Amino acid sequence: MGKWIFTGFCMAAAVLLFQCAAKKTQTAQRFVEPTVNPNAVEPEPVQTPEEIAAEKEKKMVAAAESVEQGATKDWLTQGKDILNIQCASCHKAKDPLQYDEANWVKHMSRMVPKAKLTPEQAKYLRVYTLAQFRVTK
């Protein structure tokens, strides 16, 4: 009988030791430091609203320059004002993206005399509307 008790005690001790060893291995594996992938791609930095506005402004000035040599940011501002003030005084201001370039030129050739715009104002309006179209193309 003593032999069976001793054998049972040894078996219980072996089971307890085996279970504790398995838990230690699992615990150690949970806290392994992750490796760094040298081929990982860095996320692109997020642009601030000011950076986005500055980039859009650069694109608009470049598009205005492609419409007419020497165009500036001031030309775009004046063209936008003409569209939103003078054109809108008779009818709802048209969205520059509503028409393509050829239709804008045709539309403006009819409307400039009606709006009594000076040649300089017509130039600013044409540069603004066509630049808007070219930036969004």
Stretch (H or E) spanning 54: helix 49-67
80: nearest Cα among 44, 128, 118:
128
Compute the average pLDDT of residues 99-110: 84
Q: Is a pLDDT exceeding 90 seen at residue 24?
A: no
- CB atoms closer than 10 angstroms to residue 86: 16
Per-residue model confidence as pLDDT tens digits over 41-75: 777 788 888 988 889 899 999 999 988 899 999 99
Whether 60 contacts 131, CB under 8 Å: yes
Please give the mean pLDDT across all residues of the chain.
80
Q: Is a pLDDT exceeding 90 seen at residue 94?
A: no
Q: Is a pLDDT exceeding 90 seen at residue 84?
A: no
